[in-house]
């Protein structure tokens, strides 16, 4: 399978300011050396507890952190394959990034705050078309109607405002907007977390249908492994800025190897009789602050199978069986 994106040793550090002069006194290592490939047409699920760097990873890939946060430091490579050309998105300035903004789109968690309440649905979906394409007004109108139908809404909805819609419908509008520029990659940052469980499956199913139709690659971010399990081809588990395990979705879900992945799965009630229930690991305590990230393996402070050397050496991702795991003890 062809790679569409290669992320290499990506790091995101936010400055922490303090004291009377608000000098930089520390930094948050939000993403701390993440590498992975995204294949054409695949869905990579990214899971982990709150604060482990999932959103920072997504935002770094679409190169919006610099515009959002003063003083943020991003390093590493984000290699995007564009018709046989390799472009390192991490090296691009805001204006250089422009032609690629339409190729990589993001869908956000909160369908309430991510849509401008003063714009009609038509204006919301049209906006990226106006910025990124040369369509005429009538072509844009036709595109909007077409996109509304593709996400299960109708032409009548185009002149209404976001507040007139339910959460699930708003997320459909967000999806239509993201797809309007015909992206190659969509980064969905907890797209269903704010929705009722009954609506979650509908939106996920829609995203799966659209993936086929638009030939998309997805990075699908979630807290919960059970949400990404069915839509993902592979799953990456993140802890404090690092991927600790990455592999085929069903393998990671049914038989997680890293102690953190196992703990994360133990926390999820699983109706699945085939899943391994023995050796459940309780996840105790809070995630340590990424400002004072523990030395060595960052999980060692909470790990039930910790060894003396775990606080000294940072474990690398190593191929074990059918996946890669960052723990020498499994
Ligand atoms: N703009 C910012 N300035 C300073 N620190 C930030 C900023 N954005 C995120 N962080 C910090 O970076 C770390 C990673 O945050 P991030 O939002 O990427 O995590 P997350 O995995 O998406 O969490 P959640 O599941 O809660 O959405 C956290 O410690 C967070 O407090
Ligand atoms: Mg987040």
Contacts of 19 by beta carbon, 8 Å cutoff, 6+ apart: 25
Identify the pLDDT of residue 20.
86
* In a domain? residue 116: no
Which of 275, 293, 167, 284 lies closest to 225 in space, CA to CA? 275
Q: Output the domain CATH number for residue 244.
A: 3.40.50.300
pLDDT tier for residue 274 given thresholds of 50, 70 and 90: low
| Cα-to-centroid distance, 36 and ligand 2 (Å) | 19
Q: What distance in Å separates the CA atoms of residue 128 and residue 143, rounded to the nearest whole number?
A: 11
State pLDDT tens for residues 231-267.
Answer: 999 999 999 999 999 999 999 999 999 999 999 888 6
* Ligand 1 pocket by Cβ (under 6 Å): 14, 28, 30, 48, 50-56, 69, 223, 290
* In a domain? residue 206: yes
Checking if the pLDDT of 278 tops 90, the result is no
* In a domain? residue 144: no
Give me the chain's average pLDDT, please. 92
Mutate to test the pocket of ligand 1, among 12, 22, 54, 108 (most ligand atoms within 8 A of CB): 54
Give me 5's structure tokens: 């994106």
* In a domain? residue 160: no
Expressed as residue numbers, the domain containing 87 is 3-103+183-325
Q: What distance in Å separates the CA atoms of residue 144 and residue 36, rounded to the nearest whole number?
A: 34
Give me 211's structure tokens: 């993936």
Which neighbouring-strand residues pair with 36?
7
222: exposed, middle or buried (Cβ count in 10 Å: 0-12, 13-18, 19+): buried
Identify the pLDDT of residue 111.
74
Q: What distance in Å separates the CA atoms of residue 320 and residue 277, rounded to the nearest whole number?
A: 21
State pLDDT tens for residues 171-230.
Answer: 999 999 999 999 999 999 999 998 998 899 999 999 999 999 999 999 999 988 888 998
* In a domain? residue 239: yes
pLDDT tier for residue 276 given thresholds of 50, 70 and 90: low
| Cα-to-centroid distance, 164 and ligand 1 (Å) | 31
Task: Name the helix (H) or strand (E) containing 203.
Answer: helix 197-214
**Total structural domains in the chain?**
1
Give Dmax over CA atoms of the chain in angstroms: 67
Checking if the pLDDT of 280 tops 90, the result is no
* In a domain? residue 83: yes
Give me 296's structure tokens: 């060595």
Q: Mean pLDDT lowest for which of 39-53, 132-146, 279-293?
A: 279-293
Which of 45, 58, 53, 55 lies closest to 104 in space, CA to CA? 58
Identify the pLDDT of residue 69.
78
Which CA distances in Å does 320 have to 6, 132, 254, 317, 323?
A: 21, 43, 15, 9, 6
Which neighbouring-strand residues pair with 104?
185
State pLDDT tens for residues 65-94.
Answer: 877 778 899 999 999 999 889 999 999 988
State pLDDT tens for residues 94-139.
Answer: 889 988 999 999 999 887 788 999 999 999 999 999 988 889 999 9
Which of 278, 249, 298 lies closest to 46 in space, CA to CA? 249
What are the φ and ψ backbone dihedral angles of 17, each rounded to 5 degrees? -100, 150
| Cα-to-centroid distance, 279 and ligand 2 (Å) | 29
Q: What is the pTM of this model?
A: 0.93
* In a domain? residue 221: yes
State pLDDT tens for residues 128-165.
Answer: 999 888 899 999 999 999 999 999 999 999 999 999 99
Which of 201, 214, 133, 144 lies closest to 171 in space, CA to CA? 201
* In a domain? residue 195: yes
Identify the pLDDT of residue 282.
74
How far separated are the first and last CA of the chain, in Å rounded? Answer: 28
| Cα-to-centroid distance, 188 and ligand 1 (Å) | 16
């Amino acid at each position: 399978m062809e790679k569409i994106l290669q992320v290499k040793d990506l790091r995101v550090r936010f400055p922490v300011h303090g004291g009377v002069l608000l000098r930089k006194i520390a930094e948050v290592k939000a993403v701390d050396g993440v590498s992975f490939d995204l294949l054409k047409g695949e869905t990579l699920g990214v899971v982990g507890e709150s604060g482990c760097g999932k959103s920072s990873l997504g935002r770094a890939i679409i190169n919006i952190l610099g515009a959002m946060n003063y003083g943020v430091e991003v390093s590493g490579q984000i290699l995007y394959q564009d018709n046989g050309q390799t472009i390192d998105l991490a090296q691009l300035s805001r204006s250089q990034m422009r032609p690629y903004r339409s190729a990589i789109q993001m869908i956000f968690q909160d369908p309430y705050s991510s849509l401008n309440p003063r714009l009609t649905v038509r204006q919301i979906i049209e906006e990226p078309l106006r910025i990124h394409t040369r369509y005429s007004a009538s072509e844009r109108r036709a595109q909007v109607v077409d996109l509304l139908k593709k996400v299960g809404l109708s032409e009548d909805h185009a002149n209404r405002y976001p507040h007139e819609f339910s959460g699930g419908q708003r997320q459909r509008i967000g999806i239509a907007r993201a797809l309007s520029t015909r992206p190659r990659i969509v980064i969905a940052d907890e797209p269903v977390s704010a929705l009722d469980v009954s609506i979650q499956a509908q939106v996920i199913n829609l995203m799966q249908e659209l993936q086929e139709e638009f030939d998309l690659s997805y990075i699908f971010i979630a807290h919960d492994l059970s949400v990404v399990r069915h839509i993902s081809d592979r799953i990456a588990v993140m802890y404090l800025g690092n991927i600790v395990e990455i592999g085929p979705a069903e393998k990671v879900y049914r038989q997680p190897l890293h102690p953190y992945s196992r703990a994360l799965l133990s926390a999820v009630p699983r109706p699945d009789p085939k899943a391994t229930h023995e050796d459940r690991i309780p996840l105790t305590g809070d995630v340590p602050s990424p400002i004072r990230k523990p030395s060595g393996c960052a999980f060692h402070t909470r790990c039930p199978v910790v060894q003396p050397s775990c606080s000294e050496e940072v474990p690398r991702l190593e191929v074990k069986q059918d996946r890669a795991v960052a723990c020498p003890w499994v």
